[in-house]
Amino acid sequence: MPTVESIITFLAKMAAARNNAMSTKSWLLKHGRAWTPAPLPHGVERGMKARCFRNAAALAIRRRNLIYVEGYAIEARVPLPVLHAWCIDQ
């Protein structure tokens, strides 16, 4: 089953391959944090598939208490980290 460690390993390999301390992957390794998926808040419907950036941005604009976030996500059926966007309530 994919884990946070899978994403960290992926980012580390990509950063090393580029040999660039200023890459996005290097920045995420240094400053990023793990998030645990949670159910959608009451009254929030799931957005259109394959439009996570648009969906999350629109939701953050509509609901000022939510914060737009970008990073990498991984799931069991596709065990490869992919760029993803979502909202948090912290």
Following DSSP, what letter does each residue of 31-56 receive, concatenated?
A: H-------PPPTT-----TT-HHHHH
Task: Identify each DSSP E strand in 1-90 by its residue range.
Answer: 67-75, 78-88
pLDDT at 41: 84
Sign of torsion, CA 63 64 65 71? positive
pLDDT at 23: 86
pLDDT at 70: 96
Digit-by-digit pLDDT tens for the chain (90 residues) are 678 999 999 999 999 987 777 788 999 999 999 998 899 988 899 999 999 999 999 999 999 999 999 999 998 888 889 999 999 987
pTM of the model: 0.84
Number of domains in the chain: 1
Question: With contact defined as beta carbons under 8 Å apart, do 90 and 67 qualify?
Answer: yes
What is the C-alpha separation between 26 and 53, in angstroms, rounded? 22
Residue 59: give the domain boundaries.
4-88
pLDDT at 1: 65
